[in-house]
Amino acid sequence: MKKADLAFSALLLPVDYLMIVLAGILAHFLRFKSFLTDVRPVVYALPLAEYSRIVLLMALGWLLIFAISGLYSTRGSIGSRRFLHEFSRILLACSTATLTLIVLIFFLKEELFSSRFIILAVWALSMLTVSFGRVVVRSLQRFTFAVGYGVHSVVIVGHDHATEMMSQEIAKKPSLGLRVVARLLSFSAGDKALLQKLLSQRRLDEVLQIDPRLPTEQVLDLVDWCSEHQVTFKYAPDLFQAKATNVDIGTLAGVPIIELKKTPLDGWGKIIKRVFDFFAAVILIIITSPLLLLIALLIKFDSRGPVIYKNQRVSRDGVFNTYKFRSMKMEYCTGPGYGGRPAEAYETDLIKAKNGRQGPVYKVLHDPRRTRMGRLLERTSLDELPQFFNVFVGTMSLVGPRPHQPREVEQYQRHHKEVLAIKPGITGLAQISGRSDLDFDEEVKLDTYYIENWSLLLDLWILIRTPFAVITRRSRV
């Protein structure tokens, strides 16, 4: 690990301590100096000086719990950690510390705090202040990356499309703290000489293998070289390797058995997700109902035909209808009850001439079948708002892999069918990562990661990011 990474990891300790103390002081102010004194009069006022001594001591104990929770792990730089994962740890650590404080007060000194509100306020405020402090540290580290301090020099190995995309992504985002100093198509004797030269010039910190199809002998040779010269080696796993990280170990007749688990959504996860989807769909339908009505009226005025277009899609349970606002002229809509064989034939011709995606899933660029209103709906993704009703009845989820048409699913390769393991969604990890610019194989990789790493916090993060992805979408319509 570079000295800069260690410095920022060490900086988290005093910053967290100050943020915990700040949360305690703010809680005291809210209880004894704010409008709450009018709501509930103060019976026993705790002097700020005495209270501050308690908070300063308490904050040291909280840091210990933070350390046990893994908030000071030096695995990877600060900037490389996902904030969602870090916030979940902050929530857990603050909750554990608060519970510990309550237990101590019960057994040691019940009058330590005169107000239960202060304890609850410290718990809520500490999550906010500690998260804020870490955002500040992250921002400071990104600034140092921008000026070239603490940047990791990386050699990328591979010759596939994913390797090219990774190189471009690193170049576009200095905040990642990475600088590509060379790219190797394979690993041979000449490549060893280049790595040795970069190492002697102190321009090599990491080797990153993106292409999983490199010959095994070359990969093992590369790993050995990195190990010998104390260079960090990282690699992007293929689909099986990624799947194999999500396992459950048990025994059967005394023999160790490893189960490759598809998703954490088995069991209670499925129940939690369905309950969340149901209530969220009800709220979203109520909130968007004026907009739904307005769009329906505009579609009626713009072209003849039904407002809602029912499009056949495939889920793990079979074929179902998704609800969308109709964005095409009636005679060009495909599916039962619409334009019939002429519409399907015309669509086939358009796919051959204007398809903008690789793989079994198509995207017709500059689609001439759109109505005037349809072009606006497609560009803003407002045509998908009726899918809240799909979520309400349970045929879709708010977050999940996008469902595809039967003829597209028929062209799936074996590993593509992994996306059918869970209920499809309105938005997903692939949609916020690139919308329709992504190739289908890249979309499958992202959806597979989501399936194998599902959590309610991940769903919330994707939902928050979705509007920004729609606004900044890069794909052409």
- % helix, strand, coil for the chain, step of 5: 60, 15, 30
pLDDT of residue 321: 93
> Predicted confidence band at 72 (pLDDT cuts at 50, 70, 90)?
confident
If one counts every other C-beta atom within 10 angstroms of the C-beta of residue 472, the result is 8
Q: What is the largest CA-CA distance in the chain?
A: 82
Q: Are strands 206-209 and 232-235 parallel, antiparallel or unpaired?
A: parallel
Q: What is the pTM assigned to this prediction?
A: 0.59
The mean per-residue pLDDT over the stretch 286-312 comes to 92
> Predicted confidence band at 45 (pLDDT cuts at 50, 70, 90)?
low
- The domains found in the chain, sorted by start residue, are 3-146 (no CATH), 152-236 (3.40.640.10), 268-471 (no CATH)
From CA 263, how far away is CA 189, in angstroms rounded?
42
- Would you list the DSSP string of 236-270? ---HHHHHTTSEEEEEETTEEEEEE---TTTTHHH
Q: Are strands 206-209 and 152-157 parallel, antiparallel or unpaired?
A: parallel
From CA 209, how far away is CA 187, in angstroms rounded?
10
On the question of pLDDT at 474 being above 50, the answer is no
**Contact 204/156 with Cβ under 8 angstroms?**
no
pLDDT of residue 283: 94
Q: pLDDT: is 412 or 249 the higher one? A: 412
From CA 423, how far away is CA 429, in angstroms rounded?
14
Best-predicted range by mean pLDDT (109-113, 163-167, 327-331, 439-443) = 327-331
Percent of the chain's residues with pLDDT above 90: 25
pLDDT of residue 260: 55
Beta strands in 291-373 (DSSP E): 308-315, 318-325
The model's pLDDT over 134-149, given as tens digits with 9 standing for 90+, comes to 999 988 988 888 887 8
**Contact 330/307 with Cβ under 8 angstroms?**
no
If one counts every other C-beta atom within 10 angstroms of the C-beta of residue 331, the result is 14
On the question of pLDDT at 247 being above 80, the answer is no
pLDDT of residue 79: 47
Q: pLDDT: is 93 or 41 the higher one? A: 93
Cα 148 to chain centroid, rounded: 27
The model's pLDDT over 257-281, given as tens digits with 9 standing for 90+, comes to 555 566 778 777 888 899 999 999 9
pLDDT of residue 28: 82
pLDDT of residue 258: 56
The model's pLDDT over 15-30, given as tens digits with 9 standing for 90+, comes to 999 999 999 999 888 8
* Least confidently predicted of 130-144, 160-174, 319-333, 375-389: 160-174
From CA 142, how far away is CA 355, in angstroms rounded?
39
On the question of pLDDT at 390 being above 90, the answer is yes
Q: pLDDT: is 129 or 231 the higher one? A: 129
pLDDT of residue 38: 53
Q: Residue 161 is encoded by which pair of tokens? A: 């499309």
CA separation, residue 408 to residues 58, 111, 338, 367, 403 (Å):
59, 67, 19, 19, 10
pLDDT of residue 163: 83
The model's pLDDT over 165-201, given as tens digits with 9 standing for 90+, comes to 888 888 888 877 888 899 888 888 888 889 989 988 8
* Least confidently predicted of 217-221, 252-256, 296-300: 252-256
From CA 274, how far away is CA 454, in angstroms rounded?
13
The model's pLDDT over 342-370, given as tens digits with 9 standing for 90+, comes to 888 888 888 888 887 777 888 888 889 99
Q: Are strands 247-252 and 255-260 parallel, antiparallel or unpaired?
A: antiparallel
